[in-house]
Structure 1
């Protein structure tokens, strides 16, 4: 079996390794050049390809259409997408002789779209996972090939959960590969009406609104904790990034729970929330740091 792989991030590195270990011949890898303005804390697909002498290119989004003739000539059995960030044109998907498959970091049909791990934490989910699905013209909308679930702990950050999702993605691809190697793609409907779609998140979306509940604030902090841009609030004229919070007590008896915002009591920092409960801020630092 031959494959062309569009890949980035840890999921890209790990799932590409799983394909190679299964004996699939990688005809070409398409990845991204790292953004100098981004905090790149994850594995490099490009470096992996260089180390293993796998053909690798880094076209921009406007150049993808120019790959059609090259991929038609390769006539690979599968096209895989593992956390590749650009929408792959239908003309490219059609170049796979068996199927074009994508790995998504949620339990589809929930959390289709961008930043699925961050959105799941933000919404207080206790479970998410990874889904391998057939690529369609609409994002994350094709039939489901395989899934694996993971639990989200109450204090786990997006980085913690992403590491679990990355391992779940490997589990999914390893479970699916024996059937895929026979040229058979198992399918079950991706029932979109039972799910949800979310767009990308911007650093400005990390602003803490203290009129929300304590759990909502805690979940926001977890969802965007560094190395993501972080939740933030203003205190004494300075913008502060709130990196870690706790909902565990006990709370000082002299907190004013009717006044939303930051209070410092006994050298401990608390955020008073709209439900008259508090989050303790365990770690914060100036945004300019």
Structure 2
């Protein structure tokens, strides 16, 4: 079996390794140039390609359509997309002789779209996972090929959960590879009406609104904790990034639970929330750092 792989991030590295270990011939990898303005904390697909002598390219989104003749010439059995960030045009998807398959970091049809792990934590979910699905022009909408669940602990950050999702993605690939190698693609409907779609998140979305509940604030901190841009608030004229919070208590009796915002009591930092509950700030630092 021959494949062309669009890949980035840890999921891209780990799933590409799984394909190679299964004996799939990867004729080309399409990945991204690392953005010098981004906090790159994950493994490099380009580095893996160099180590394995796999040809790779890093086209911009506007250059993807120009790849169609190249992919038609390669005529891959499969096209895979593993955390590749651009939408792949329909004429490229059509170059796959058997199927074009994408790995998504949620339990589809839930959390279609961008930043699925971050959104799941923000909404207080207790589980998420990885889903391999057939690629269509509409994002994350094609039939489900394989799925694996992971738990989300009450204090786990997006990075913690992303590590689990990366492992789940490899488990899904290994689960379906025996059939894919025979040219069979297991399918079940992706029932979009039972799911949800969310767009990308911007750093500005990390602003804490203290009129929300303590649970909502805690979930926001977890969802965007560094190396993501972080949840932030103003305190004494400085913008502070909250990296870790706790709901566990016990909390000092001196706290004024009627006054929302930051309070410092007994050298401990607390955020008082709109439901008259507190979160303890375990780690924070100036945004300027």
Q: Please indicate, yes or no, whether the TM-score normalized by the shorter chain is above 0.5.
A: yes
C-alpha distance in 2 between matches for 1:219 and 1:278? 13
1:221 alignment partner in structure 2: 221
Q: Distance in 2 between matches of 1:149 and 1:181?
A: 24
- Partner residue, 1:191: 191
TM-score if structure 1 supplies the norm length?
1.00
How many residues align? The count is 289
Q: Separation in 2 of the partners of 1:286 and 1:137?
A: 42
Q: What runs of 5+ residues in structure 2 fail to find an aligned partner?
A: none
Q: How does 1:1-289 map to 2 (within 5 A)?
A: 1-289=1-289
How big is each residue's C-alpha offset from its partner over 1:60-117, in whole Å with a ceiling of 9 and x where there is no partner?
0010001100100111100000000000000000000000000000000000000000
Distance 1:242 1:98 in 2: 47
* Deviation (angstroms), 1:225: 0.2
In structure 1, distance between residues paired with 2:74 and 2:100: 14
CA offset at residue 188 of structure 1? 0.3
Give 1:46 deviation, angstroms.
0.2
Distance, in Å, in 2 between the alignment partners of 1:163 and 1:125 is: 16
Q: Distance in 1 between matches of 2:125 and 2:268?
A: 28
**C-alpha separation in 2, matches of 1:40 and 1:286:** 20
Q: What is the distance in 1 between the residues matched to 2:167 and 2:254?
A: 45
Supply the distance in 1 between the matched residues of 2:40 and 2:243 (Cα, whole angstroms): 18
**Paired residue secondary structure (1:136):** coil
Deviations 1:165-223 (A, max 9, x none): 00000000000000000000000000000000000000000000000000000000000
Instruction: Give the Cα separation in 2 of the matches to 1:195 and 1:263.
Output: 39
SS in 2 for 1:185: coil
Q: Could you tell me the TM-score, scaled by structure 2's length?
A: 1.00
